[in-house]
Structure 1
């Protein structure tokens, strides 16, 4: 949730610090972000409907997120439901903790809200939710010196209730700091709108509130921007943090930073915040940046895995063009050695419309104008991209 009436932008181009250089192990892990996983997460989030705090859909979404962590191998002792009430509404945050090797009691928090209003909220904030899930999947077994908390807040849209409850009742208790938090990194509305030029992300820094944490926030945000350019194809700009789940932490004196889309989608809080309108490729790039940054902030192992690139990773660079397409869709595989592959086109609900084997040029002239999913399968892996048909 972002309220423009209180937003003062201090955008600036952002460069690298000489102290930060590319770490190959970090890049290898950032490159494990899967476009298919991101697209699937966004689709499934959309299918869960409007997720108003306290509703059945909201509770079902928390269960869906929880099941994702279980499927990644996180144990019951790492996954905690954090119930709270505001007014007559009862809902829950979800907190997953990965213990650090050197500083187990000092935390880097990566967070975003999953509640929505009006529409299914695929951009605001299924996008942040999907990126956090992918970061959690990839970092599950990666040693980090600092502990990591992956937090999914509810109650954000009604007034930051979930993050306020956590900051005031878990991080702080009776006015005493209970959690030693190195950084709170918030992802809110990072999905863009399909058709926009989505090649930049805003890195958000603290410029108000408690002035004592502003300088460190600025340093961390500059580091976030540098990580973004090192581990993703995104460009960056710097702007003020405002009106999202990092703010209750800022008010307690913690250091904050965040990601927010650069080219505004303006679908938030409307019925148009749907899977059809979000840009999954942009979310994929944001997730790569987040994985790189989290390794930097939590000081991950720099040991380079000897494992070879998997087919799933190599398929991430498959090209589908032109897009929008009129009659013939060209599929360009990243490896010329791949001779056996399948191309499937479905509608956004997953209903099959076309399937071709080993054909790099696909005739889609019989399919009506609209937005569809194109899945390329090869060597036991697959990748899904959105395509637009316009005649």
Structure 2
């Protein structure tokens, strides 16, 4: 393949998400591009580059050109949890660093090997595999929405939904998170993990939900999913709304018994499921409401894959939305920001969550249709509309999967805003008539 040149550019005012890359690339006469939030990366061959720079000058774009060129097959997009890719491969040159999302110079043989890994630490994609619904060579890795425009266009808050949103409490969320983090570890096959299951099941049952457990295989050992349900009042055509997180934690710096508090990953999401269940305990739900704490996520999404396999085709078709929370507690951006990550099938859920953010919170919203590394993928792979809600992507919590993922790293203001957004979306979805969802 031909060598390519690379340059970066901040998105100019007025070229807003989610298709800023298309607008900006048109100004550069057809150079291919990758959008990383508020930044665009332009790619072009040596023969194209003089035209690219001339077009940039005419358009008033300030390009930051990378010296030299590199083989196009070495360019890869990495989607990582925390800094797990960089921790494992510190010598790989990073060309663009947006926390969860990287552009790297990676040997293609190593890239193909890494792409086959089953653990959810990171994913490696060729640029053409990014934003699969896109046409041409202009791809969006993730985009930043115009929060001001979203709020200007949003409806006034619904009083009933606002009532449930207002029940989100720092006091109870913090207590629940502290109780989970106090366990020495929540490693999926440990006795301490079973203690965590006891904690969350008891709390969910106390709110009036019908609870159950699923035993899941981990390839030589076992773990558990905890499921809580409330059947909707609607007819047989009613749908189901799921709120999920993984309950397990891990410490990659030691053995399975090593301390793994997992405050952000994913104690924050697990305590968040409990908090949303508390806020919605007396919601008038037309549709079925399901809360799930998954086991085995850190070993390869075992819990969510097991749950999805347990659903019949008819049950899968009833799933209206899956709202997954994985790491909602680290402030990685100057403004409190949430990343909504799904695929094309989950675009209505992405849009609904973004609207809930604009109506009921002060969150800045980032979006991506490049799903990876968490339990939402298990649902998406079977065609169900699932979205990961996770702390904003521009930086990242580099202490996950260690003994240092502790309570002092949690930004409770951010976590509570994400919980308010999710609560509002779920409350509205549950109240919608079966013919409207």
TM-score by length of 1: 0.68
Q: Is the 8 A contact 1:116 1:125 kept in 2?
A: yes
**Partner residue of 1:268 out of 400, 407, 414:** 400
Q: State the alpha-carbon separation in 2 of the partners of residues 296 and 97 from structure 1.
A: 17
SS at match of 1:41: helix
Pairwise CA distance, 1:235: 1.5
Distance 1:225 1:197 in 2: 19
Selected match of 2:354 from 203, 210, 225: 225
> Paired residue for 1:150?
291
Matched, 1:247 2:377: yes
Q: Give distance in 2, aligned partners of 1:20 and 1:33.
A: 21
Partner of 2:31: none
**For 1:165, which of 306, 314, 334 is the aligned residue?**
306
Aligned match of 2:134: none
1:114 — aligned with what?
247
**Aligned counterpart in structure 2 of residue 190 of structure 1, from 323, 328, 343:** 328
Q: Which residue of 1 aligns with 2:199?
A: 64
In structure 2, relative to structure 1, the CA distance for the partners of 1:18 and 1:232 (3 Å cut) is closer
Instruction: Give the structure 1 partner of residue 222 of structure 2.
Output: 90
Provide closer, same or farther for how the CA distance between residues 233 and 18 of structure 1 changes in structure 2, counting only shifts above 3 A.
closer
Alignment pair present for 1:280 and 2:412: yes
Q: Deviations over 1:264-307 (max 9, x none)?
A: 22221122111122222221221111111111222269xxxxxx
CA separation in 1, counterparts of 2:179 and 2:234? 37
| 1:24-35 map, 5 Å | 24-35=159-170
Encode CA deviations 1:181-220: one digit per residue, 9 max, x unaligned.
1111111111115x964511111121xxxxxxx2x41122
Q: Deviations over 1:225-267 (max 9, x none)?
A: 1101211221211123212111111111111112011042222
> CA offset at residue 4 of structure 1?
4.0
Q: RMSD of the TM alignment (CA)?
A: 2.2
Aligned-partner Cα distance in 1 for 2:334–2:383: 36
Q: Counterparts of 2:349 and 2:159 in 1: how far apart (Å)?
A: 21
TM-fit CA distance, 1:12: 2.9
CA shift digits 1:27-47 (9 cap, x unpaired):
121011111011111211110
- Unaligned stretches of 5+ residues in structure 1: 207-213, 302-391
1:198/1:114 CA distance change after superposition, 3 Å = farther
**Aligned match of 1:132 in 265, 273, 279?**
273
Which residues of 2 match residues 1-391 of structure 1 at below 5 A?
Answer: 3-6=121-124, 9-14=141-146, 15=150, 21-74=156-209, 78-103=210-235, 106-118=239-251, 119-168=260-309, 170-172=310-312, 176-179=313-316, 180-193=318-331, 197=334, 199-206=336-343, 214=344, 216-239=345-368, 240-262=370-392, 263-299=395-431
Structure 2 match to 1:326: none
Give the number of equivalent residue pairs.
Answer: 285
d(CA) in 2 for partners of 1:264, 1:18: 30
Secondary structure, aligned partner of 1:267: coil
Report if aligned partners of 1:227, 1:293 keep a CA contact under 8 Å in 2. Answer: yes
Q: Distance in 2 between matches of 1:230 and 1:294?
A: 14
TM-score (norm 2): 0.61
Q: Is the partner of 1:10 in helix, strand or coil?
A: strand
Unmatched tracts of structure 2, length 5 or more: 1-80, 82-119, 131-140, 252-259
Q: Using a 3 Å threshold, how does the CA distance of structure 1 residues 46 and 234 change in structure 2: closer, same or farther? A: same
- 1:54 CA displacement: 0.9
- Bigger-Rg structure (1/2): 2
Instruction: Write the distance in 2 (CA, Å) between the matches of 1:19 and 1:191.
Output: 26
Bigger proportion of residues as helix: 2
What CA distance in whole angstroms lies between the structure 2 residues aligned with 1:88 and 1:20? 52
